[in-house]
Structure 1
Amino acid sequence: MARHGEAVEYQVGAHTVRVSNPDKVYFPERGITKRQVVEYYLAVADPLLLAIGDRPTTLKRFVDGVAGEPFYAKRLPKGAPEWVATARVTFPSGRTADQVCPTEPAVLAWAANLGTLDFHPWPVRSADTDHPDELRIDVDPPDTAGYADAVHVAGVVREVLADAGLTGYPKTSGGRGVHVLVRIRPDWDFVDVRHAVIALGREVERRTPDRATIAWWKEERGGRVFLDYNQAARDRTVASAWSVRGTPRATVSMPLTWAELAEADPDDFDVLTVPGLLAERGNPHEGIDGEAFGIGELLEWYARDQRDHGLGDLPYPPDHPKMAGEPRRVQPSRARPE
């Protein structure tokens, strides 16, 4: 096996983190190395821990950089230091796993040494992994649309959240999409939170029907921006704020204010630029933990749509067991009459 520089050590708080092959190129288009990724994560450790600290977290690992095939590490990797905390989660199958639960900057550097680019936290805290404390709206444009389309729909999401008494915090996905995060009280389970996102998505679709959809099947979306309600299902995650994405440019999922969102170019936020922006502008999501909201209004909308319009649940992801009230999980063009 070729070596890419002598191993280096970083003293991170009380821990020494050894980084092997620090000069291995992870992003060939720009020549960005593993060392630079590790140092990026040390530079943004404080706001990143605000986003993922004390959350069970899936590691998206690119051990050969973006030129190789990534994989999701949903369990604590073998050989992890004893100071890497874990939290136990239950998957839709009923099986459990102990996942990495970042609590300090050294964990971020250790994970980066394993080839982790994206951190995918569950929307729960370690003390209660069955009740989300974060509602996430994934605004996902199709190939025929772009970032401006996602920003438009995200603006409608903001309006609908406000009408339901909630405040959302936007970030770029690291690509053409937008994620909106809302801190909520952990009083509801995954099914409730997913229903709340469905209700919100339906209202967004009503307000901008030519631009947004919650249709699960691509053949029904008609080139519109998809509000991926199934990102609220158990074991579904999105890359966290400050996560490096597996793009040729080494882009970052960048937290922004609503005023910044429309003027931003997602390509401007990458491993090389974001630490300076953080030092200059601070963390736009600094206040996200200041208030936790209820989702009762959104759940009332869900019940209203069911009662008045006959709109029930929507299909779950294919790897989930059949859920109560779920419609047939079959593509409409292939469905046979019942």
Structure 2
Amino acid sequence: MGATKAPAEEIEVAGHTVRLSSPDRVIFPKRGFTKADVFHYYLSVGDGIMRALRDRPTTLQRFPDGVEGEMFFQKRVPSRGVPPWVRTAEISFPSGRKAAELCPADLAHVAWAAQMGTIVFHPWPVRATHVDQPDELRIDLDPQPGTDFAHAARAATELRAILDELGVTGWPKTSGGRGVHVYLRIQPRWTFVEVRRATIALARELGRRRPDLVTTAWWKEERGERVFVDYNQMARDRTIACAYSLRATARATVSTPVDWAELPDVDPDDFDLRTVPERLAQRGDPHAGVDDTGWDITPLLEWAERDAAAGEGDLPYPPDHPKMPGEPKRVQPSKDRDRPR
């Protein structure tokens, strides 16, 4: 006979009852972490992950049978079988289609999503009150082949110097892999197109200062052994795993906020399902002040205008995005017959 299946549990979270079924189902086989481990991990980092998710439309990356099983992204909350207290926010995709996404109002929403097999939380950089105006500018520093986390951390340190000159605070975190994310809290006054332009301008400035280390080249054949600043993470419907989200890695790593002083020396593999709750309890959240002020991105938009006047206009959008006004051709340079040789 097979092992006895653990019974479902009912757990009170933020004033709501959340059902946890199959608590002993193994989600991370290499570490032996179960569905209950994932569920209680998210409860243990509640303040931190709610700082990242509160009132943000959120795409759920679900693995109902564990990280080695089937995965899918859920962008629409089902119309049936959902607790009446679950909140949603309507967002518009680049195609013009709309969807009601989960919009966490409290930790019970996170717990409910974990019960549904969610491992990774991908919030939009907007709030439910202004779904078309980002309040979070995200810089994704993505190491390319031949580079690693140390290079991304070095690029982030160079970025910080630029942010200091601009008088804006950057909030770094590990990606949960080899990359580094730096967030800026901004005023929700600009469109996705404008915030993406600002991100490109900032990335280009970083690339000018460290062309040996950083690139904004969209085409992989042009990047070399450098850290790619993925400016398209600010395109509409592109999302990043949030602070304190687990990642679907064998080690059950976590995208973890860090402070600038420790960033060069941390090992992102040290931040996982077991270690991060203790770290948060002992030292607090390095992103605790992220919501204190919203920055005016006008200086970056002025840089974008300067760059355009110098012949550096827009850059390609993701391949699944509609063609945008002023966007260059989406043709791999080595296959572009019209490109000067």
Superposition TM-score, scaled by structure 2 size: 0.97
Q: Residues 106-152 of structure 1: CA distance to partner in whole angstroms, max 9, x if unpaired?
A: 11111001111111000001011000000000000013211100000
* 1:34-49 pair list within 5 angstroms: 34-49=35-50
Q: Residues 212-239 of structure 1: CA distance to partner in whole angstroms, max 9, x if unpaired?
A: 0000000000121100000000000100
Structure-2 residue corresponding to 1:248: 250
Structure-1 residue corresponding to 2:239: 237
* 1:97-108 pair list within 5 angstroms: 97-108=99-110
**1: CA distance, partners of 2:86 / 2:319:** 32
Structure-2 residue corresponding to 1:332: 333
Q: Which of 178-187 and 7-16 deviates more?
A: 7-16
Q: Residues 301-322 of structure 1: CA distance to partner in whole angstroms, max 9, x if unpaired?
A: 1110111x20000000011111
**2: CA distance, partners of 1:141 / 1:80:** 39
Specify which of 212, 215, 220 is matched with residue 214 of structure 2.
212
Q: Residues 177-213 of structure 1: CA distance to partner in whole angstroms, max 9, x if unpaired?
A: 0000010001110000000000001011011101100
- Is 2:90 the partner of 1:88? yes
Structure-1 residue corresponding to 2:288: 286
Q: Which of 78-87 and 158-167 deviates more?
A: 158-167
Structure-2 residue corresponding to 1:5: 6
**1: CA distance, partners of 2:267 / 2:86:** 35
Q: Residues 245-278 of structure 1: CA distance to partner in whole angstroms, max 9, x if unpaired?
A: 0000000000011011111110111111111111
**2: CA distance, partners of 1:256 / 1:11:** 30
**2: CA distance, partners of 1:226 / 1:144:** 12
For residues 143 and 25 of structure 1, do their structure 2 counterparts lie closer, same or farther at Cα, with a shift above 3 Å needed? farther
1:259 aligns to what SS in structure 2? coil
**2: CA distance, partners of 1:186 / 1:13:** 28
**2: CA distance, partners of 1:314 / 1:129:** 24
Residue 94 of structure 1 deviates from its aligned partner by 0.3
Q: Residues 152-179 of structure 1: CA distance to partner in whole angstroms, max 9, x if unpaired?
A: 0111111122222321100000011000
* 2:144/2:224 contact within 8 Å kept: no
Residue identity opposite 1:68 in structure 2: G
* 1:3/1:21 contact within 8 Å kept: no
Q: Residues 316-336 of structure 1: CA distance to partner in whole angstroms, max 9, x if unpaired?
A: 001111100000011111112
Residue 64 of structure 1 deviates from its aligned partner by 1.4
* 1:141/1:225 contact within 8 Å kept: yes
**2: CA distance, partners of 1:288 / 1:2:** 47
**2: CA distance, partners of 1:317 / 1:100:** 24
Residue identity opposite 2:156 in structure 1: A
Residue identity opposite 1:147 in structure 2: F
Specify which of 161, 164, 168 is matched with residue 162 of structure 1.
164
Structure-2 residue corresponding to 1:117: 119
Structure-2 residue corresponding to 1:28: 29
RMSD between aligned alpha carbons? Answer: 1.3
- Is 2:306 the partner of 1:304? yes
**2: CA distance, partners of 1:166 / 1:331:** 35
Residue identity opposite 1:67 in structure 2: E
Residue 20 of structure 1 deviates from its aligned partner by 1.0
Structure-2 residue corresponding to 1:276: 278
**2: CA distance, partners of 1:169 / 1:19:** 33
Residue 71 of structure 1 deviates from its aligned partner by 1.1
* 2:30/2:251 contact within 8 Å kept: yes
2:173 aligns to what SS in structure 1? strand
* 1:161/1:200 contact within 8 Å kept: no
Q: Identity percentage over the alignment?
A: 59
**2: CA distance, partners of 1:270 / 1:89:** 31
Structure-1 residue corresponding to 2:81: 79
Residue identity opposite 2:171 in structure 1: Y
Q: Residues 37-95 of structure 1: CA distance to partner in whole angstroms, max 9, x if unpaired?
A: 00000111111111110000000111111111321101113422111100000000000
Residue identity opposite 2:116 in structure 1: L
Structure-1 residue corresponding to 2:201: 199
**2: CA distance, partners of 1:283 / 1:49:** 12
Residue 283 of structure 1 deviates from its aligned partner by 0.6
Q: Which of 159-168 and 123-132 deviates more?
A: 159-168
Residue identity opposite 2:117 in structure 1: G
**1: CA distance, partners of 2:289 / 2:125:** 17
* 1:172/1:266 contact within 8 Å kept: yes
Residue 4 of structure 1 deviates from its aligned partner by 4.4
1:16 aligns to what SS in structure 2? strand
**2: CA distance, partners of 1:305 / 1:229:** 15
Residue identity opposite 1:313 in structure 2: D
For residues 306 and 7 of structure 1, do their structure 2 counterparts lie closer, same or farther at Cα, with a shift above 3 Å needed? same
